Structure 1
Amino acid sequence: MAVTQQEIENRLWDAADELRVAMPEAQYSSVVFPLMFWKYLSDTWDHHHQEFLSDNEGLEGLSAEEAREIEYRDYQSFEIPFIHPGTVQQRRASWSSILATITQPGLGQRVRASLQAIETANPDKFSRLFGSMTWTSEEVLSGEVLAAVMQAMDRTPKMHEGNMSHDVLGGAYEYLLKRFSDGSGTRAGQFFTPREVVELIVEVLAPENRESVYDPTCGSGGMLIASANLLKAHGGRGYTLKLYGQEAVADTAGVARMNLFMHNLTQFQVEVGDTLKDPRFKKPDGSIAQFDVIVANPPYSLKWKPWTKDPRAIGGVAPQSSADWAFVQHMIASMDPKRGRAGVVLPHGVLFRGGQEAAIRQRILDDDLLEAVIGLPPNLFYSTSIPTAILVFRASGTKSDERQKGVLIIDASKRFIKAKNRNVLTEADIADVLTAYRSSFDAGGNPVDPDGDGGLAARFVPTTEIVKAGYDLNIGRYLKQAAVEQEDLGTLIDAYNLARAERQKAEQRMLAVLADAGIKGFDE
């Protein structure tokens, strides 16, 4: 009988809930995802092992080596090795084998040894997959709690292709990601981007069969998976995409790798490292590797060590106080020159902040690399309540003729519904944004079909107008209906301080004039 989505989700959450006595919800993912993936690998291996035994009943004369060769050639795609081979403690590094020892001391040590053995036996597939595994220490997670989690998870139906589809399995993984994010506050932003935002970006960029997709701050891999899912939903072959990601946090990179495997996506490479300081994807000559599609939701206004000399720094170097434009510069350098396009979510400040950021913005606009700015509602993300925008870039000279020498600006800041912890874009909202993005525009930059965008304010703004505005891309400057909320607190404080200083100067001049006229007594 087929396993329902609801059934597996409920069982997995029951397992996660056993951790409530040992750690805050924000840390659940570091335990649950490795255990879940281990069970998935073990169930899958056991399923194919039983198929091998059933198909080869008449081959009792096979030696152990011959049997192993046949099984791993024709049935298995990865190895579950033995731990402590050649000793009385020898046992297979599988879920069921270790579960049988659950009442014995040292459970965490056996779990750790099993996961490490799987990584070592499958270096091409599972190297560094399970992360740091600090939770296997008795000091971090007691054997009693770990046993309770494993027993609860064991009540989950068998996780193999003969019992459940990868759609169900991947959906369960996504369910846990979202559930952990809902309960973990700002930390969630490091590995989970709301799926409706991901969907919007991927729909705009429209990956095609056999293209490469790259996320330089990939978190849990959601944007890479969404690219494959979208292509499949549109009748394409999502499994043909070549997926690449880099993530600064090793444990989060492990979550991404497991997530991709759970979705039956195997053409991927996820590397660990700081993308700005140490980009891991490079050409043989040492230059930055280039891809067809680049997607990202980088950490906002990240303090960083600016480049001293780097070919990615077109237009200048982003200030130490904010790496926002540095991530954009990296993405631009990563675009394939013939068909590359990129979509990134950033705070509104990147549209109008001055100084070094203004110089970079000017260069990118002069080079006609920015295709569109899509203003999003506030409070969409787990890590911040500020409004954000999607910036869409195209490789030099690859914009469509009608999008040359200008920027399409769309305001979707009012399009959301309120959920428990944040605002949410609905499917209708996403559809309206996409309609506006794909619209034609008249000579004045207005949509040819003004009702076709679902009431969204949208306009194609020529670069000449943006230049006259000092390269300021503030949405409210070009769309009168744009939300007041787009101005972030920092901008308002700067404006206040400027006005206050001007007022003080005026008062000083007035007092000086009055004093010269012999009029005194004003309270300064």
Structure 2
Amino acid sequence: MAVTQQEIENRLWDAADELRVAMPEAQYSSVVFPLMFWKYLSDTWEHNHQEFLAQYEGLDGLSPEEAREIEYRDHQSFEIPFIHIGTVQERRASWSSILATVAQHGLGQRVRASLQAIESANPDKFSRLFGSMTWTSEAVLPGEVLASVMRAMDRTPKMHEGNMSHDVLGGAYEYLLKRFSDGSGTRAGQFFTPREVVELIIELLAPKNHESVYDPTCGSGGMLIAAANLLKAHGGRGYTLSLNGQEAVLDTSGVARMNLFMHNLTEFKVEVGDTLRDPRFKKPDGSVKQFDVIVANPPYSLKWKPWAKDPRAIGGVAPQSSADWAFVQHMIASMHPKKGRAGVVLPHGVLFRGGQEAAIRQRVLDNDLLEAIIGLPANLFYSTSIPTAILVLRAPGTKAKERQGGVLFIDASKRFTKAKNRNILTNANIADTVTAYHSGFDAAGNPVEPNGEGGLAARFVLTTDIVANGYDLNIGRYIKYAAADQEDLGALANAYNIARAERQKAEQHMLAVLSTAGIEGFGE
């Protein structure tokens, strides 16, 4: 009997809900995802093992060594080893084996030993996959609660290909990611970008068969998975993509790798480390590796230790108070020179802030690397309610001829549907934005074929006009908003940003005049 998506999701949530007596919802993912993936591995291994036994009719005529060689050559793609070998506690490190001991003392230690044994037995696939596993400590998660979670999760149907598709399994994993983020605010939401925002960015960048995709702040891996799913949905072969990500938090990187495995995507590499300080994807000469498609939703206005000397720092070094432009610089350095393109979500401040950020913004525009800016609605994300924008960049000299020497501005800030905890983009909202992105524009920068009343406000602005505005990229400078009674938070934020930028320019002019007159100290 086929397993429905609803059935597996409900039962997995029932298991997660057993944790409510022991920890806040923001911490559920650290327990549920390792347990879920362990059950998936164990169910898959045992299913394949039974097929092997059936084929060889109880292993008649095979020595243990021969049986093992044949099974792992023809039937298994990973190993579930034994733990506590040579003791009375010896048992296979499988879900069913440990589940049989849930009533015994020391359950957390047995679970930890099992997960560590699986990591050690499969270093190429599962090294450090399960993270720190602090939750296996009795002091963090009492054994009786862990037992309740495992019993509830065991009521989930068998998680192997003979019983459910990877579409169902991957969908269940994403359901839990979203459920945890919806209910727990920033802690879980900080590494989960809403699916519709991810889909919009991937639609804009349009990955193709056999291309490489890179996310320098990959979180739970959603953007990498979306790239493969979109390519498949458009008739391509998602499994041909080379998927690459880096994540600073060990446990979160494990969530991403498990997520990719659950979606049956095996051509991936997820590295652990701080991308700005220690980029892990490099060429033999030490420079950063380059990719066809780069996507990111980095932490906004992150305080960081600025580079002392780094070839990625085109136009200057981002200030210590905000690493926003440093992430953009890293993505630019990571673009393939002939077909690289990048999409990144950032707060509106990157469009107008002065100082070091203004110098970087100027270089990016002078080098004609920025193709489009798309203003998104406020309150789309789990970790912040501020309005954000997507910046689309292209490798030097690779813009389409009609897009060279300018930037496309799209205002999508009013296109959303209100939901319980946040605003969401509908499929129609995404489609309208993609249509505006692909539109043609006349000499005045206006859309040649605006999409009727449903069309988004968009304008192609020459770089010379942007230079005349002091390299200010505020969307409101170039797209006039509708009547005041239609103003929303996004429009008001843009108006504020413009006023703030004008004030900063006036202050800088005043300080220059005072300095010329020999009057110092006002700018300190």
The whole-number CA distance in structure 2 between the counterparts of 1:55 and 1:229 is 35
Q: CA deviation at 1:191?
A: 1.4
List per-residue Cα deviations over 1:357-404 (Å, max 9, x = no partner). 000000000000000000000000011110000000000010011101
Quote the residue 2:491 is aligned against: 484
- Are residue 108 (structure 1) and residue 115 (structure 2) matched? no
List per-residue Cα deviations over 1:64-113 (Å, max 9, x = no partner). 01000000000000000000112111100000000000100000000000
- Are residue 338 (structure 1) and residue 338 (structure 2) matched? yes
Task: Please say which of residues 482-491 and 250-259 is displaced more in the overlay.
Answer: 482-491
The whole-number CA distance in structure 2 between the counterparts of 1:396 and 1:499 is 33
List per-residue Cα deviations over 1:445-491 (Å, max 9, x = no partner). 11111125832100111111111111000000000027523339788
List per-residue Cα deviations over 1:191-217 (Å, max 9, x = no partner). 100000000000000000111000000
Given the superposition, is the C-alpha separation of residues 492 and 37 from structure 1 closer, same or farther in structure 2, using an over 3 Å criterion?
A: farther
Give the partner amino acid of 1:487. Answer: N
- Are residue 468 (structure 1) and residue 475 (structure 2) matched? no
List per-residue Cα deviations over 1:11-39 (Å, max 9, x = no partner). 00000000000000000000000000000
Given the superposition, is the C-alpha separation of residues 237 and 501 from structure 1 closer, same or farther in structure 2, using an over 3 Å criterion?
A: closer
SS at match of 2:202: helix
Quote the residue 2:514 is aligned against: none
Would you say the 8 A contact 1:373–1:408 is kept in 2? Answer: yes
Q: CA deviation at 1:493?
A: 7.2
Quote the residue 1:264 is aligned against: 264
Given the superposition, is the C-alpha separation of residues 182 and 465 from structure 1 closer, same or farther in structure 2, using an over 3 Å criterion?
A: same
Would you say the 8 A contact 1:435–1:452 is kept in 2? Answer: no
SS at match of 1:280: coil
Give the partner amino acid of 2:238. Answer: G
Quote the residue 2:521 is aligned against: none
The whole-number CA distance in structure 1 between the counterparts of 2:202 and 2:123 is 31
The whole-number CA distance in structure 2 between the counterparts of 1:303 and 1:428 is 36
Quote the residue 1:217 is aligned against: 217
Give the partner amino acid of 1:486. Answer: A
Given the superposition, is the C-alpha separation of residues 50 and 142 from structure 1 closer, same or farther in structure 2, using an over 3 Å criterion?
A: same
The whole-number CA distance in structure 2 between the counterparts of 1:501 and 1:332 is 30
The whole-number CA distance in structure 2 between the counterparts of 1:189 and 1:83 is 36
Quote the residue 1:293 is aligned against: 293
Would you say the 8 A contact 2:45–2:76 is kept in 1? Answer: yes
Give the partner amino acid of 2:55. Answer: D
Quote the residue 2:437 is aligned against: 437
The whole-number CA distance in structure 2 between the counterparts of 1:452 and 1:265 is 40
Would you say the 8 A contact 1:387–1:485 is kept in 2? Answer: no
TM-score by length of 1: 0.93
For residues 4-403 of structure 1, the aligned pairs below 5 Å read 4-57=4-57, 59-403=59-403
Given the superposition, is the C-alpha separation of residues 90 and 490 from structure 1 closer, same or farther in structure 2, using an over 3 Å criterion?
A: farther
The whole-number CA distance in structure 1 between the counterparts of 2:363 and 2:504 is 29
The whole-number CA distance in structure 2 between the counterparts of 1:401 and 1:47 is 55
Give the partner amino acid of 1:43. Answer: D
Would you say the 8 A contact 2:353–2:501 is kept in 1? Answer: no
5+ long unaligned stretches in structure 1: 504-524
Give the partner amino acid of 1:484. Answer: A
Would you say the 8 A contact 1:295–1:343 is kept in 2? Answer: yes
Quote the residue 2:515 is aligned against: none
Given the superposition, is the C-alpha separation of residues 416 and 16 from structure 1 closer, same or farther in structure 2, using an over 3 Å criterion?
A: same
Q: CA deviation at 1:187?
A: 1.6
Given the superposition, is the C-alpha separation of residues 38 and 153 from structure 1 closer, same or farther in structure 2, using an over 3 Å criterion?
A: same
Q: CA deviation at 1:184?
A: 1.1
Number of equivalent positions: 503
Q: CA deviation at 1:502?
A: 12
Given the superposition, is the C-alpha separation of residues 33 and 358 from structure 1 closer, same or farther in structure 2, using an over 3 Å criterion?
A: same
The whole-number CA distance in structure 1 between the counterparts of 2:220 and 2:406 is 34
Identity of aligned residues (%): 83
SS at match of 1:174: helix
Task: Please say which of residues 197-206 and 473-482 is displaced more in the overlay.
Answer: 473-482
5+ long unaligned stretches in structure 2: 483-489, 511-524
Quote the residue 1:410 is aligned against: 410
Quote the residue 1:507 is aligned against: none
The whole-number CA distance in structure 2 between the counterparts of 1:50 and 1:267 is 27
The whole-number CA distance in structure 1 between the counterparts of 2:507 and 2:408 is 35
List per-residue Cα deviations over 1:234-260 (Å, max 9, x = no partner). 000001100000000000000000000
The whole-number CA distance in structure 2 between the counterparts of 1:76 and 1:387 is 48
Q: CA deviation at 1:59?
A: 4.2
Give the partner amino acid of 1:208. Answer: K
Q: CA deviation at 1:269?
A: 0.5
SS at match of 1:365: helix
The whole-number CA distance in structure 2 between the counterparts of 1:422 and 1:488 is 23
Would you say the 8 A contact 1:292–1:336 is kept in 2? Answer: yes
Q: CA deviation at 1:348?
A: 0.4
Given the superposition, is the C-alpha separation of residues 358 and 55 from structure 1 closer, same or farther in structure 2, using an over 3 Å criterion?
A: same
List per-residue Cα deviations over 1:415-445 (Å, max 9, x = no partner). 0111011000111000000000011111111
The whole-number CA distance in structure 2 between the counterparts of 1:96 and 1:315 is 57
Would you say the 8 A contact 1:435–1:453 is kept in 2? Answer: no
SS at match of 2:139: coil
Quote the residue 1:511 is aligned against: none
Structure with max Cα Rg: 1
The whole-number CA distance in structure 1 between the counterparts of 2:401 and 2:496 is 38
The whole-number CA distance in structure 1 between the counterparts of 2:106 and 2:450 is 67
Given the superposition, is the C-alpha separation of residues 203 and 93 from structure 1 closer, same or farther in structure 2, using an over 3 Å criterion?
A: same
TM-score by length of 2: 0.93
Give the partner amino acid of 1:475. Answer: I
Give the partner amino acid of 2:379. Answer: N
SS at match of 1:487: helix
SS at match of 1:407: strand
The whole-number CA distance in structure 2 between the counterparts of 1:425 and 1:145 is 38
The whole-number CA distance in structure 2 between the counterparts of 1:300 and 1:416 is 22
Would you say the 8 A contact 2:182–2:189 is kept in 1? Answer: no
SS at match of 1:305: coil
The whole-number CA distance in structure 1 between the counterparts of 2:85 and 2:312 is 50
Would you say the 8 A contact 2:27–2:188 is kept in 1? Answer: no
The whole-number CA distance in structure 2 between the counterparts of 1:23 and 1:252 is 18
Give the partner amino acid of 2:360. Answer: I
